[in-house]
A and B are shown apart, each in its own frame.
Chain A
Amino acid sequence: MSDVFLSLTHISKSYAGVQALDDVSLVVKPAEIHCLVGENGSGKSTLIKIIAGVVTPDQGEIVINGKPFRRLTPMDAIREGIQVIYQDFSLFPNLTVAENIALNYELSRNARIVRWGQVRQLAEAALGKIGVRLPLDAEVESISVADKQLVAICRALVQNARLIIMDEATTALTEKEIRALFKVIHNVQQEGVAVLFVSHKLDEVLEIADKAMIIRNGKVVVDVDAANLDRNKLVYYMTGRRIEEADYDYTPQQKRPLLEVIHLSSRGNFQDVSFSLWPGEIVGVTGLLGSGRTELALSLFGVLPVDRGEIRIDGKPVHINSIQSAIEHGIGYVPEDRLTEGLFLDQSINRNIVIRTIDGLTGRGGLLSITRLKERARQWIRDLSIKTSDPELPVKSLSGGNQQRVVLAKWLASKPRILILNGPTVGVDVGSKSELHDIIKNLAREGIGILVISDDIPELLHVCNRILLMRRGRLAGMFDRRELDENKLTSLLTESTPAAPAASTTQSLSPQIG
């Protein structure tokens, strides 16, 4: 067997004159972890599709296992052992773990009859290979995102994968789950399987890659051993510029906290959480998925019920039991999943921006004033520099970063005093990310209190002046930004013992005031 599994040489692909890929060459060896890095729109997806046989390149040569392919079809690719794990995993939520693992294999060998014993055996064997245990008869809908990822990997292995392509595999995973995934990837590697790991999270790339290829605007910038890379170089290669972000420096503005959360509990969600948020503060809330960080945010926003404890705004106890009541108290919430919870993709940019405040946009006779509506939207498009040719276009015509600005605009339009941002830059490329961070900091400087729910460590450190750590439904620690660096926060986030108890005294409920 040759020591090269896949080789692409001088691959080019253009769509109506726009060059999506320009003279790209890639070599993947068996049992190699090769990272493919690039911003959104750099040509990563086109490259994956070419390898999977979904897209045919205009020029260039594809050789798999020493066999040249003029027109690679998806079936060819699968037969040669190429398996793609898409971002959404492409699993069947209504079928069991075992069946999800085995079904595609059964399909590819043209089985007509399903032998359930065999299905279970196949699944069990695959799970064994990567060294994890999952309930075989559980419906995939009911298992966690991380477990779904594992099911997708097993499914690829069952089909005798020689190369697994993982497209943004870690987007929905927590730090801990990412660790576990990396272990599984190494196990897969032991089986002699190569992995093409597509990501734009730099730290992951640095950690897992044997080799990394960085592409920008459809061209290969560099394809090197990961040992020769560091973070700054990666950013530079990806964006073509160095991004230096200044940390947020918070200056106390007022003497009274905006929001106080006192011994707050929500059965099954989180317990006994106390902290405060001051005007102009950006407080990070971090923790693993399942730590209760999102649940806390949802309770403050009236989505999940509160059983015990108290929420005070401006020192006055308030009762928040619905989204409407949260909004009445000046709380805004930008959800984690922009596409499913934040945006109305088919509706116009205008409508998306004004929907929060639409009740106030009435004109003569109590009817909606279209002029005022457009004026209001135009103002936000300008203020947040949303790039669009026509605000009457559906919001899905915008890029990820601009979409996120629309969600922000929607909330800012209603002048919230407290803004909860859940994963504000998830799925946004590096360039837009720092611009969004600047917007967030500016908002805080205007006196809004901001809670940032995130497990993106550099983001937390750049944006927040204080960071709360949640673990298993409880507040495990509270830190001033200045006490932390990336290493310390990473280890705090991933360790399982309680953090320094000193942090949870009553005094540190408030930020240090000079």
Chain B
Amino acid sequence: MSARDASYTPWAWTRSLFGDGNILRLLIACVVIFVVMSILRPDVFPTPENFLSMGSQFPEIGILALAIMITMLTGGIDLSVVSVANMSGVLAAFVIRALIPADAEAGQVALGLAAAVVVAFLTGALAGFVNGLLVAYVNLTPILATLGTMTLYTGLTVAMTRGNAVFAENRLVFIGNTNVLGFIPIPLIIFAGVVAVFALILNRTAFGVKVYMIGSNVNAARFSGINVRRVLLMTYILSGLLAAVVAIIFLGRNNSAKWDFAPSYVLQAIVVAVLAGVNPSGGSGRVTGIVLAILALQFVSTGMNMLLFTISGGQFFKEFAWGALLLTIMVANHLSEQRRLRITRRSKPET
């Protein structure tokens, strides 16, 4: 049977939906984990309360993973996302403290919060701009450039705050504890919005296609007249903006910002992106993958917490499970790729 015949099956339509097998495997993983957890803890896992709590937890890392994704698509990476989020958060908190007095009326509060959000976004964009300059114009390896700026931004945040937490005077906590229509956490809505915009940017704009092309072959992109530097600069700015979104959610959940908040999120976001099937050397990866990957990881973490809450240190099992899941999916991808190669090789002679 030739390779062409092999692809002509009743299941051919799934290719357009799932791309490679990775998305399908992720979907299966999500469902399996969900079902298993629901069977193991039917009293607490498949409950509205739990969905609410999960829905307010994963958006942060989910959005950071999108930031990692867009830079990874170009063959780069942005290790500075969390430091940018913390810096933006601290500055936004400063703005809130400065502009909104304790007895402020509604209008003043709204104005102050708007200013805080604008400052957070400007900070994110500026930090991303610096990253982009270093990567696109100075030609630094992205790992190194963003490693350097990560230290730099963290350092600036330390210097601005003398290492202390900055409180946001309860002005943003509504983000963390309001549920729209009583059952949709605001962070989840933000996440959905970001995902939608992101999917549109990547799949339905010239910019998005260029991002993939640059990741696929930067030289060819340059010779095709793509303004590689500008596109790279834009991706790092986008990444910085996403970090600023996360900064606002951080403030909403914690009511404060601090330089050393959530450093482990960088690696966790990379785990999500890789699990989602984003190729670390660039050129491929889908937003759907990110959504499924973050859901799978959230189900695992929550489920594990429920199973192990009686054991001391049970909260750390999550870390173990994430690592195990990442390695398992990578090995599974590798094995299926091997099998696919063997099939094509058999059906097509090498010359």
Contact = CB atoms under 8 A, between A and B. Distances in A.
A351 B224 CA distance: 12
Contact of A359 (B206, B219, B220, B283): B206
Contact of B209 (A19, A327, A335, A368): A368
A16 B349 contact: yes
Contacts, number: 92
A45 B350 CA distance: 8
Contact of B227 (A324, A335, A345, A362): A324
A475 B220 CA distance: 29
A42 B351 contact: yes
Interface in A19-70: 19-20, 40-46
Given A15-B349, A368-B205, A346 B223 contact: no
Contacts of A368: 203-206, 208-209
Interface in A336-357: 340-347, 351, 355-356
Interface residues of B, number: 31
A358 interface: yes
A333 interface: yes
A323 B348 contact: no
Contacts of A42: 351
B345 A335 contact: no
Contacts of A344: 213, 216-217, 220-221, 283
Contact of B223 (A45, A341, A358): A341
A341 B217 CA distance: 8
A14 interface: yes
B226 A16 contact: no
Contacts of B345: 15
B340 interface: no
A20 B217 contact: no
B41 interface: no
A410 interface: yes
Contacts of B227: 324
A346 B351 CA distance: 21
B5 to A, nearest CB: 11
A362 B205 CA distance: 8
**Overall SS of chain A's interface:** mixed
B222 interface: yes
A18 interface: yes
Interface string B193-226: 0000000100111101110110011011111111
B315 interface: no
A509 interface: no
Contacts of A362: 206
Contacts of A355: 209-210, 213, 221, 224, 226
A178 interface: no
B4 interface: yes
Contacts of B223: 323, 333, 335, 341-342
A356 B216 contact: no
Interface string B211-250: 0110011011111111100000000000000000000000
A512 interface: no
A323 B222 contact: yes
A345 B350 contact: no
A389 interface: yes
A346 B205 contact: no
Interface string B76-88: 0000000000000
B351 A46 contact: yes
Nearest to B219: A341
Nearest to B351: A41
A15 B346 contact: yes
A433 B71 CA distance: 39
Nearest to B228: A323
Interface in B245-269: none
Given A324-B225, A347-B213, A342 B351 contact: no
A16 B224 contact: no
A367 B200 CA distance: 8
A261 interface: no
Interface in B322-351: 345-351
B22 to A, nearest CB: 14
B161 interface: no
Contacts of B221: 344, 355
B220 A340 contact: yes
A366 B207 CA distance: 12
Contacts of B350: 15, 20, 45-46
Interface centre among B203, B204, B222, B223 (most CB of A within 10 A): B223
A361 interface: yes
Interface string A351-379: 10001101101100011101000000000
B341 to A, nearest CB: 13
Contacts of B204: 367-368, 370
A20 B346 CA distance: 12
A356 B224 contact: yes
B202 to A, nearest CB: 11
B284 interface: yes
Given A43-B351, A46-B351, A370-B204, 18 more contacts: A15-B345, A16-B346, A323-B225, A333-B223, A344-B213, A344-B216, A344-B221, A344-B283, A346-B216, A347-B213, A351-B209, A355-B209, A355-B210, A355-B224, A355-B226, A358-B210, A367-B204, A368-B203
25 contacts: A16-B346, A18-B349, A20-B350, A20-B351, A40-B351, A44-B351, A45-B350, A323-B223, A340-B219, A342-B220, A342-B223, A344-B220, A344-B283, A346-B283, A347-B213, A351-B209, A356-B224, A358-B206, A361-B206, A366-B205, A367-B205, A368-B204, A368-B206, A389-B4, A410-B224
Top 10 A-B pairs, shortest CB-CB distance: A15-B349, A344-B216, A16-B346, A18-B349, A367-B204, A327-B225, A358-B206, A41-B351, A20-B349, A341-B219
Interface of A: 14-16, 18-20, 40-46, 323-324, 326-327, 333, 335, 340-347, 351, 355-356, 358-359, 361-362, 366-368, 370, 389, 410, 414
